[in-house]
Amino acid sequence: MTNTAVLIIYIPIVMITFIAFFIALSGDRKKPAIRCLLFLMGMILFWEATVLGFYLTDDLSAARFLFDAKLPFVSLASLALLLFTLYFFKLEKRLTKAGWAALLAIPLLTAIFSFTSPLHTLIRAEAFITVGALNLADSVRGPLFWVHAFFCYATILASLVIIIYKYRRQLPEERTASRFLLTGIIIAAASNAVAMFQLFDLPLDFTLIGMCAALILLYMGVTTNDRGSFLHIARDEIFHRLNDPIFIVNTQNIIVEMNAASKKWLDTLSVPPPETFDGLISSLEKNGAKTAPPTTGGLMELTLHTSDNVWIYSIRENTITHKKGFTVGRFLIFENVTETRLLIKQLTKHVGYDSLTGLQNRYSFEKAKMDFDKPEFLPLSVIFGDLDSLKIINDMHGHKTGDEYLERAARCLEGVCPDNGQVFRIGGDEFVLLLPSCTAKQSIRIMDEIHQSFCDINDFPASISLGNTTKEHTHQNLSLLVDEADKLMYTRKRAHA
């Protein structure tokens, strides 16, 4: 590992700490817990600065100074953690002036030795620091270091004990914030242990990494603890900013609340605010609205006719459930699906047509087979066609000319097809005519007309092979007859070739 690799690991951690600091800074700084958290974040930022400086410098004296310069910030961060816990649970009054003095003594003493006498023997009995591709430091810890370490552990463990004590005395629904704090303190303690006993042979400050993770959880605990009123305001704001009309009804179907979009919508329709949901639907129906069962889920669909447009609404409902499991009401959401319905209609129309020729495609053909396969359409004739010369035209003149040929062929087939029949392009050069109320003899005459119309095409060597069958009885399978027409067409195509 190199200095660069270590910095790549630390820089995102520093950025996250900065972001968390400024988020907390924009919060309610009048709260003592927030002020303690800001102090903790500040100490961690200074701590991170010394660590980054150690791996950035190539000066041995600077490296020696920075190696121990972090210690005051470590002890002050541990102290801030304890103070945060006391203020969070409103236990700060338990701390006397003597207690304050005792808590500040160790960080102050550590700072004096770290800043004035780097690598003092009281802190490091022996120290080995090298600078290079990877700045390294090893030492034999001195007595003041162990005092410092004991102080950090003691404050973290004291915080842990306080949180566990308060957590066990809280009601289950009140424990969310304490759970964040507890997780954060455990992470801080665990990372401190990893660093103390050097469980991983990596040039990383695991205590710092653990404290960064902990402070995020601590901030989440603070915001969660006071989010009741905040969430109420936020939910109300979201509710009134939604564009869809939303009505809240109780179990008696009485409308207890509606959002701003609902009031504006009713004003536009000149509908007075109703007392019940049934009254709302009744008022809308008096204004010309029509209700229908839902097509894509929901409670119902509502179609409104205004002077200049038609609007379609999908009415969806969401149940409001009490924490004990029983229903207390519903949200009724009027979602404007007009544009969606129009888009679906357009897509449905286009999906059934061939974009080149404008004829119906295989999808429409399969659907038409089911539609026409009824006694009232018998006799039902099928004409299957395959262009003979498309490949030659493509090879000799290019695919653009081939496309023009396909379009001309489609027009020929459309011109010959009776009004009650339909023409389909089901493949590259394959066409099918479905001819209801058409006898086998009539279908042969239509095939003759098709061949004649192809002879009239002078721009291309145009010809088409055709096969036909006729369904005359209800017990005949139309799909098999279509296959039979296909085979007959290929037989004639081979004979023609």
Residue-level pLDDT at 236: 77
pLDDT band at 484 (very low <50, low <70, confident <90, very high): very high
pLDDT band at 435 (very low <50, low <70, confident <90, very high): very high
CA 99 to chain centre: 50
Give the least confident one: 138-147, 274-283, 435-444, 468-477: 138-147
Q: Which of 164, 148, 183, 11 is nearest to 75 (CA)?
A: 148
pLDDT band at 173 (very low <50, low <70, confident <90, very high): low
User: Quick one: pLDDT at residue 296?
Assistant: 63
- Average pLDDT taken over every residue of the chain: 87
DSSP 255: E
Q: Is the pLDDT of residue 97 over 80?
A: yes
**Distance between CA atoms of residues 382 and 436, nearest Å:** 9
Sign of the alpha-carbon dihedral angle for 422, 426, 427, 431: negative
- Give the closest residue to 166 by CA, choosing from 153, 179, 152, 154: 179
Statement: residue 464 has pLDDT above 50: yes
- Report the distance separating Cα 429 and Cα 426, nearest Å: 8
Residue 213 vs residue 460, higher pLDDT: 213
Instruction: Label residue 229 by pLDDT band (50, 70, 90).
Output: very low
**pLDDT band at residue 297 under the 50/70/90 scheme:** low
Higher-confidence position of 201 and 422: 422
Residues 217 and 88: beta-carbon distance below 8 Å? no
Pairing of the two strands 464-471 and 255-258: unpaired
Give per-residue pLDDT as tens, 304-346: 887 778 889 999 988 888 777 888 889 999 999 888 888 887 7
pLDDT in the model for residue 473: 94
> Of 13, 40, 82, which Cα lies nearest the Cα of 219?
40
Residue length of the chain: 497
Tell me which of 300 and 443 has the higher pLDDT: 443
String of DSSP letters for 179-214:
HHHHHHHHHHHHHHHHHHTT-S-SS--HHHHHHHHH
Please report, rounded to a whole number, the percentage of residues in the chain having pLDDT higher than 70.
96
pLDDT, residue 42, reads 92
CATH number of 243-344: 3.30.450.20
Residue with tokens 């902990």: 214
Domain ranges for the chain, please list them. Answer: 3-225, 243-344, 352-496
> How much is the pLDDT for 378?
95
Top-confidence residue, 210 or 383:
383
- What confidence category does residue 419 fall into, taking pLDDT thresholds of 50, 70 and 90? very high
Model confidence, pTM:
0.46
Q: Which class is domain 352-496?
A: alpha beta
CATH says 3-225 is which class? mainly alpha
326/322 Cα distance (integer angstroms): 5
Tokens of 340: 């969606």
Q: How confident is the model at residue 227 (pLDDT cuts 50, 70, 90)?
A: low
